[in-house]
């Protein structure tokens, strides 16, 4: 089916780079109008808006700070004002700050939880009030949302466990409204924040069955599937896109 998301509006958080930018591009290619957030680079966001508008869709970028969860309802209001509807929400924005228990700063813990958990809750809580049956919530979690990783990862682990848990619980909450909720759990993905080089990268590649990093476009493909017409009986699922990391 060509342009299976035509007539839909998608909101993607953290959409100006990496996995988020790949999702924005894929949503636009599938025909959806796309709103996305960025935190710092207005220039990169503007370039992406221009790029995806070439698909003949409407696109707009919004500056948003996930560290201020109370601002999320306002974001939903702005998207509705500009686009008139909200059909697909992709909670992609996130942050990693490492540190072992007994060493990590409380401020770092708080920042991870505000951005990775509280903002996801606040945005989804506002969005579902405006969604119609057929709406989709797709949370970008992590393979670390299922099992513990190595040292220094506890806070990030906990935040992604929460995102995966939200996805399953919200599927129960929203099924009667016809809104589907799923999580995508990426493995190691080649982005500027996690480049496919260096000692850590070698370890991560060795953990996968395929022996390589994934590409942002491979995550975007999974999101497009869950947002599209072939996933109408899928809710409460966690889709690992991890090259076999969790096999």
Strand order in the sheet with 180-186: 59-63, 33-38, 9-12, 88-91, 136-140, 180-186, 238-241
Q: Quick check: helix, strand or coil at residue 157?
A: helix
Of 55, 156, 203, 233, the catalytic one is 156
d(CA 120, CA 108): 18
Residue 242 to residue 189: CA distance in whole angstroms: 8
Closest CA to 62 of 47, 44, 48, 75: 75
Active site residue 156: yes
Instruction: State how far the Cα of 7 lies from the Cα of 33, in Å rounded to an integer.
Output: 7
Where helices occur in 33-102 by DSSP H, the ranges are 42-53, 72-83
CA distances from 77 to 74, 81, 233 (A): 5, 6, 29
Strand partners, 61: 36
Q: Residue ranges of the alpha helices (H) in 97-215?
A: 106-113, 119-127, 154-174, 199-207
Q: Which residues are catalytic?
A: 156
């Amino acid at each position: 089916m060509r342009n299976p998301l035509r007539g839909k509006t998608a909101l993607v958080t953290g959409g100006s780079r990496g996995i988020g930018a790949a999702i924005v591009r894929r949503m636009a290619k599938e025909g959806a109008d796309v709103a996305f957030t960025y935190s710092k680079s207005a220039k990169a966001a503007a370039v992406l808006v221009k790029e995806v508008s070439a698909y003949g869709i409407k696109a707009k970028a919004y500056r948003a700070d996930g560290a201020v969860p109370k601002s999320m309802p306002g974001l939903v209001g702005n998207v509705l004002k500009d686009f008139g509807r909200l059909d697909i929400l992709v909670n992609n924005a996130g942050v990693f700050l490492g540190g072992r228990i007994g060493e990590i700063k409380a401020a770092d813990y708080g920042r991870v939880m505000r951005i990775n958990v509280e903002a996801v809750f606040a945005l989804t809580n506002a969005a579902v009030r405006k969604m119609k049956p057929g709406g989709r919530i797709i949370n970008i979690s992590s393979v670390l949302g299922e099992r513990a990783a190595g040292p220094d990862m506890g806070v990030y682990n906990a935040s992604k466990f929460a995102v995966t848990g939200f996805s399953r619980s919200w599927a129960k909450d929203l099924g009667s409204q016809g809104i589907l909720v799923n999580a995508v759990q990426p493995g190691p993905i080649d982005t500027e924040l996690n480049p496919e080089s260096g000692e850590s990268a070698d370890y991560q590649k060795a953990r996968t069955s395929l022996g390589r990093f994934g590409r942002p476009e491979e995550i975007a493909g999974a999101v497009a599937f869950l947002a599209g017409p072939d996933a109408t009986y899928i809710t409460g699922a966690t889709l690992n896109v991890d090259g076999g990391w969790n096999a």
